[in-house]
Amino acid sequence: MKAMTPRERFVASLTFQPVDRCFVKSDSPMPRTRKRWEKEGLPEGVEPSVHLGMDAREYVKVYMECYPGFEERVISEDSEYVVKTNSEGIVLKQPKEDALSVMPQFFDWPVKGRKDFERMKEQFLPSISGRYSADYDQKLDYWNNLCTNPVGYEFRGGFFHRLHMWMGLEGLCFAMFEDPDWVHEMVAFLEDWMFKVSEKVLSEVKLDFVYMCDDIAYKTASLISPAHFREFFFDAERRIIDRVRRAGIPVIIMDTDGNIDEFAAIYGEVGFNVTTPIEVAAGNDLIKLRKRFGRNLALQGGFDKRVLAAGRKAIHTEVMRLYPRLMAEGGFIPGIDHQVPEDVSWDSYRYYVELTHQISENPGRYVK
């Protein structure tokens, strides 16, 4: 087969089309992991994915969070931790160093009532030019005609995720029960905002994929019921995805953490055709998902990050259990099931990537 560009390979890999080899995407090491790897042989300042020859992706950058943002304010601090109000109006506690290495502890949320919602609206004005990168117009021709890497656009949070980050889970659940009309009002506002902010990209850029996150589950089950999702979020999310489909974008990715038993099929109904990161510790398994959904759902990720810390033998066993079959069947891009933690050595991760590359060239050779 003729060699493909990464752009062609990415789309073909996730749409069950023939490929010259499977697309091998980059993973995200935690900051402390990156520091460890540089001590163990990764050249300082070099991206691990570039050093290991993994396929790259391009993103059309549009700022989809609070703008200009709430005033950040330190409430208390000690030698290790800081409690502060961040730019999204959330009060949280996080480490002073490597804040992204752990989940913060959340104390308070910016929206508790309708007055807070009115204040939040001021942070989500769609016409602010600062949401688009300064070089957007200059890059249009590159994205549409010259770029050989897949080009994507991130909606960032879906409707549940955004209201969750405005109100906290408890606040949102109470609102759905006590004032459902208000929840519908907030969803309608966000839907209108997402359409207005995104229309320029969707109508002007030749996109290969869009990406939305909606962390709707925890380790063993969903955070809200499918019935509540259908009542409050389903229709708005489907209208957004319908617009994406009308733009001719072939790959529509839902990034949702936790156990996806209940929601994988629901997001399929919404119109997403790929799910990621498929966390193994939450009870998800690539082979079971493929058996359940077949060619109706492409899979990205799904390799247990804990196995990476167990050494080469464990890595080899798990890679061979999963990757030959899934790469041969198509509709799959391999990857770690979330950020790579600091207990993973550079040698182990490098071995994992080298083995993945090897299988991607001819997966049928390894299928038993």
Neighbours of 63 (CB within 10 A): 14
What stretches of 43-113 adopt beta strand conformation (E)?
Answer: 58-60, 73-77, 81-85, 91-95, 105-108
User: For residues 9 and 219, what is the distance between their CA atoms, to the nearest angstrom?
Assistant: 33
User: For residues 4 and 25, what is the distance between their CA atoms, to the nearest angstrom?
Assistant: 15
- Angstrom distances, CA of residue 33 to CA of 10, 14, 24, 26, 257: 27, 29, 20, 15, 21
User: For residues 365 and 359, what is the distance between their CA atoms, to the nearest angstrom?
Assistant: 8
What amino acid occupies position 117? F
Q: What was the pLDDT predicted at 62?
A: 95
Q: Residue with structure tokens 């955004």? A: 162
Q: What was the pLDDT predicted at 1?
A: 79
Write the CATH number of the domain with boundaries 6-67+110-366: 3.20.20.210
Pairing of strands 151-157, 209-213: parallel
User: For residues 322 and 350, what is the distance between their CA atoms, to the nearest angstrom?
Assistant: 18
Q: What was the pLDDT predicted at 103?
A: 84
Q: What was the pLDDT predicted at 112?
A: 96
Query: Rounded to the nearest 5 degrees, what angle is found at the Cα of 332, between the Cα atoms of 327 and 333?
Result: 95
Task: Give one word for 316, left, alpha or beta, with left for phi > 0 and alpha for psi -120 to 50.
Answer: alpha
- Angstrom distances, CA of residue 96 to CA of 39, 76, 83, 359: 22, 12, 10, 41
Spatial contact of 4 and 20, defined as CB atoms under 8 Å apart: yes
User: For residues 8 and 25, what is the distance between their CA atoms, to the nearest angstrom?
Assistant: 14
Q: Residue with structure tokens 């570039």? A: 50
Residue span(s) of the chain under CATH 3.20.20.210 come to 6-67+110-366
Q: What was the pLDDT predicted at 164?
A: 97
Shortest CA distance to 97 belongs to which of 46, 28, 30, 43?
30
Question: For every one of its 368 residues, what pLDDT tens digit does the chain have, with 9 covering 90 and above?
Answer: 789 999 999 999 999 999 999 999 999 999 999 999 999 999 999 999 999 999 999 999 999 999 999 999 999 999 899 999 999 999 999 998 877 777 899 999 999 999 999 999 999 998 888 899 999 999 999 999 999 999 999 999 999 999 999 999 999 999 999 999 999 999 999 999 999 999 999 999 999 999 999 999 999 999 999 999 999 999 999 999 999 999 999 999 999 999 999 999 999 999 999 999 999 999 999 999 999 999 999 999 999 999 999 999 999 999 999 999 999 999 999 999 989 999 999 999 999 999 999 999 999 999 97
pTM score of the predicted model: 0.95
Shortest CA distance to 164 belongs to which of 174, 154, 150?
174
User: For residues 187 and 158, what is the distance between their CA atoms, to the nearest angstrom?
Assistant: 10
Q: What was the pLDDT predicted at 294?
A: 97
